[in-house]
Amino acid sequence: MPIARTELVPAFVTVTMMLFPCNIANGLTAGLAVYPIIKLASGRYRELSWGAVSLSFLCLIYYIFGLPH
C-alpha cells in the first residue's frame, strides 16, 4: 500500500525543518503542527484524534509566539 500524501507532507516538513535550522525540536514541532492541518485540508479529518489536534494547537502556539532560541 503506498504512503498517503497526508502522511508524506508532514514527514517532509519535519525532515526539512530538522536539516535547515539544525534543530530536532523545531522539526518535530513543525511536523506535529502541519499534520492535522493537512488532514483537515484533504477532508480526512476523521483520522484525527483529539490528542493530535491539541498537540498541534500547542505547537502552533510555539511558532506563533516565537521560538525560545
- Backbone CA torsion sign across 60, 62, 65, 69: negative
Q: Measured between alpha carbons, how far is 35 from 19 in angstroms, rounded to an integer?
A: 19
Q: What is the pLDDT of residue 50?
A: 94
Q: What is the pLDDT of residue 68?
A: 62
Give the chain's residues under pLDDT 70: 1-3, 67-69
CB 2 within 8 A of CB 15: no
Which residue ranges make up each domain of the chain? 5-64
Q: What is the pTM of this model?
A: 0.81
Cite the DSSP H helix spans in 4-64.
Answer: 5-19, 24-42, 50-64
CB 14 within 8 A of CB 37: no
Quote the DSSP letter at residue 21.
S
